[in-house]
Amino acid sequence: MVDFGEFEKKTKIVFNDKKLLTQAFVHRSYINENPNLGLSHNERLEFLGDAVLELVVTDYLYKKYGTQTEGELTSYRAALVNAVIIGEIAAGLMMNDYLLLSRGEAKDNGKARQYILANTYEAFVGAVYLDQGYAVAEKFIAETLFPRVEKIVSQKLWRDAKSLVQEKAQEYVNVTPSYKVLSEAGPDHDKHFTVGIYFGNNVIAEGKGKSKQEAEQKAAQEALKVKKWED
């Protein structure tokens, strides 16, 4: 079984129930190959952790941004707890080193791993809540996630770039942007796309991402910069 001693030192959270800590890192695929593990996968913990995470983040944003509307706060929250950011934080905490995965899943380091890491972060929050209580879970989230808030709000990363660039393009140049995949590379499990955003026949900007949707968002963000439509 995995030794979580170093991880507990890194997070400064020492579990009373070590099985609960281990369970937070057990992916469903691992159970399929190791049915006698004696533990379930982490999806129930993830369900609980997601709820704790949402409450902690909502409470923080409500108190920090006293003049923003419900809609704006919802957008801030969605931008903060998306799988990309949560996955990055989980990777920074070295959670990847402790994942219990099937042999097949262990070989895949593409976008699927990012989602597994994000789900593991939420499962860990759920485990912390059960083992240590709300205050410790809140402190962990505050230390690992809240430093991202300022950048999201100041750079307006909470806005949907595709919707915004469409609104601006229709207002200023009377066109509806279109998107085209310019290139794609990599194996099926780890594709990288380059997408162009077009106003009519003119390519305005390009964006890269691990999915077409991500690349389109990046292209839209670049187009906003090129056109100086960022507000």
Report how far residue 112's alpha carbon sits from residue 157's, in angstroms, rounded to the nearest whole number.
Answer: 23
Whether residue 223 contacts residue 204, with contact meaning beta carbons closer than 8 Å, is answered with yes
Among 179, 176, 168, smallest CA distance to 230 is for 168
DSSP letters of 155-209?
TTTTS-HHHHHHHHHHHHT----EEEEEEEES-GGG-EEEEEEEETTEEEEEEEE
Instruction: Give the three-class secondary structure for 55.
Output: helix
Which residues sit opposite 49 in a β-bridge? none
- Catalytic residue check, 122: yes
* Catalytic annotation, pick one of 122, 131, 216, 222: 122
Whether residue 137 contacts residue 125, with contact meaning beta carbons closer than 8 Å, is answered with yes
- Catalytic residue check, 131: no
* Catalytic annotation, pick one of 43, 50, 72, 190: 50
Report how far residue 47's alpha carbon sits from residue 123's, in angstroms, rounded to the nearest whole number.
Answer: 7
The DSSP element (H or E) to which 128 belongs, if any, is helix 111-132
Among 182, 180, 179, 183, smallest CA distance to 162 is for 179
Instruction: Give the three-class secondary structure for 1.
Output: coil
Active site residues: 50, 122
